[in-house]
Amino acid sequence: MKILAIDIGTAHIKSVIVETKFKRFDIILHDVTSVPDAWEPRVAGAEQALTDGQLSTLAEIKQRYGAGVDRIVTNLPYAIYGSRFQNFPMKDKRKVLSAVHFAIEDEIPFDLDDCVVSSHLYPMNGKNTPVLTGFAPLTALSRFVDNISAMGLSPDCLMMEEAALSSQFAKAKGEGARNVAVLNLGHRKSGMFFFKDGLPMFHRNNMVGGFHVTEAIATRYGLGLAEAELAKVDRGFLAIPGMDLTPDQEAFAETIRGSLEPVFADFQQSLMAYNSRFGEDISTIYVAGGTSLLPGLMEHLGQRFGRKILTLQPTRMIPQLSIQPQKSVEMLLPMATALGLSQVSGEGRSQINFRTGALAATGRGLSLNFSQFVYPAKLATAVYLVAMFSIIGQTVLLNRQRLDKDDQLGRSIRAVLGAVPSSLMTSLKSNPVRLRASVQKKLDEYQALVKGNGGGGGPKSLEFLNALSQVPKSATTEIKVLDYRPAQVSLTMESPSQSSAEQAMQALQALPVLQNPKTGPLESRGTRKRFTLSANPSVKKGG
């Protein structure tokens, strides 16, 4: 997903494109475009929320970057909205939102029904739910939306600056923002934002900025605004103790400091108000905006306010960002970066959006960006392949186990039933009823045979073995195979020598238990001799 974030300023319009892939994000493009009428007198009136120069610059940005993005977010002009930060001792979201409307209804100087109200509920802090609420008159907000829509720009989200900065602090790496302030020194105004534990407590605007520094230089030295701006950029600075200055340099530095004094005094009062309200001091002051590039400004602020002073640089707060802009450009980007990060899923995503209700975005037309599907498609393909290989492996294993079981069943059937044709074997394996009947039939045959061996008129196998034991010891022999049946007996004998074998053959033929004995030829098995004998048994009890 690609998010185009636009910070609409009076001197420059800053843009970044944030690309998100699941929980990862990066800034893949940044742009700072000058507003052509930045130095002209302000002529925005009742029917125009932005100047012609701002509108034409927005049209250029839309033409350059608008077609390839999935979402657009912009800030709001400071004059058309207000905000409140409150805590409510309840957890239910619907109850909290109802309490929000009730709490701010008496604080705003216009009818709440004629406003757009948007709130963000932060995670509960103990038993309280912190809530940041913004409100803007529908008439002024509609005029702003109409102005930028006429340029072909249709933002999906209209965001408050304090909510965006809170999102940026939430996504920052390291220790994070506890009690900090942001001083954004802009062109025609300066914004002051105060945070406690990363939550936006309050903000103020002072209508003094870099334009007024240039104007003060032009007035003191009788210069045009263009010459005064060049002097400010090339030679402007704020004096700090210990500097060796000429009288002209001291006067020049004092002109700059004096023009910014309303901002510094207002900020000092806000620090005191923060301490009085929360019983704690601001520990760190972040500075941003083009005016913050004046040499000596950081040292002057540190000496005046007695706090740690840092530049609000996105690449320092979020090291994984791959952009590497020049410092003079990066000092202009914090708000645009914060606006983009406020739309990134996960921790820090803001719920504030004035583009709701009657002002809901109607869409920018169908613009498919297939690149956003590349990573999900690769992941889905990998998962699919792993699943398929797992299924194939399990199928092969199960087939092998089935074949082993099938082969084992075939051996068992042949052991009981003897040689079985393949067609009958397949039928027996697939038909349990038929297999059971065949096995039962074979068992019945064996039982009949056993009963026949134990009948009154036939010989008994134990008596026959007893008769065989009467063979003289001198005829040493071993019985290798004995096949005893009621009507015939077959023996395979083995002796250590030919003479022993001949003696055994004679002794067996002389046994009264054998009728019609027949012997086979002697076979050599190494040094031993083997022969076979078949006869009809005729043993009777006592015989």
Contact at 8 Å (CB) between 299 and 243? no
Burial group, residue 489, by CB count within 10 angstroms (0-12, 13-18, 19+): buried
Answer yes or no: do 94 and 121 share one domain: yes
In the prediction, which pLDDT does 459 show? 47
In the prediction, which pLDDT does 516 show? 83
Note whether residue 5 is domain-resident: yes
Answer yes or no: do 139 and 181 share one domain: no
Length of the chain: 543
pLDDT tens for 265-298 read 999 999 999 999 999 999 999 999 999 999 999 9
The mean pLDDT of 110-124, rounded to a whole number, is 87
Contact at 8 Å (CB) between 2 and 372? yes
Contact at 8 Å (CB) between 188 and 263? no
Note whether residue 505 is domain-resident: yes
CA 29 from chain centre, in angstroms, equals 24
Side chain identity at 223, as an amino acid letter? L
d(CA 105, CA 117) in angstroms, rounded, equals: 11
Answer yes or no: do 222 and 204 share one domain: yes
pLDDT tens for 453-462 read 554 444 456 6
Domain boundary among 400, 428, 453: 453
Helices (H), 363-491: 374-417, 422-430, 432-453, 461-468
In the prediction, which pLDDT does 541 show? 44
In the prediction, which pLDDT does 456 show? 42
Answer yes or no: do 360 and 266 share one domain: no
The mean pLDDT of 57-78, rounded to a whole number, is 92
Answer yes or no: do 440 and 411 share one domain: yes
Q: Which two tokens stand for residue 206?
A: 């002072």
Answer yes or no: do 188 and 283 share one domain: yes
Structural domain harbouring 397: 392-453
Asked whether the predicted pLDDT for residue 533 surpasses 70, the reply is yes
The mean pLDDT of 149-167, rounded to a whole number, is 92
Q: CA nearest 180: which of 171, 192, 190?
A: 192
Note whether residue 377 is domain-resident: no
168 vs 371, which has greater pLDDT? 168
Work out the mean pLDDT of the chain and round it to a whole number: 84
d(CA 74, CA 164) in angstroms, rounded, equals: 10
d(CA 42, CA 40) in angstroms, rounded, equals: 6
Answer yes or no: do 346 and 399 share one domain: no
State the total domains in the chain: 4
pLDDT tens for 488-500 read 788 888 888 888 8
Q: What is the full DSSP assignment across 210-251?
A: HHHHHHHHHHHHT--HHHHHHHHHHH-----TT----HHHHH
Answer yes or no: do 8 and 157 share one domain: yes
Specify the pairing of strand 190-196 against strand 523-525.
unpaired
Please give the backbone phi and psi of residue 126, each rounded to the nearest 5 degrees, phi first: 70, -120
Asked whether the predicted pLDDT for residue 17 surpasses 90, the reply is yes
The mean pLDDT of 240-252, rounded to a whole number, is 91
Q: How many CB atoms lie within 10 A of CB 297?
A: 22
Q: Which two tokens stand for residue 446?
A: 């064996």
Note whether residue 322 is domain-resident: no
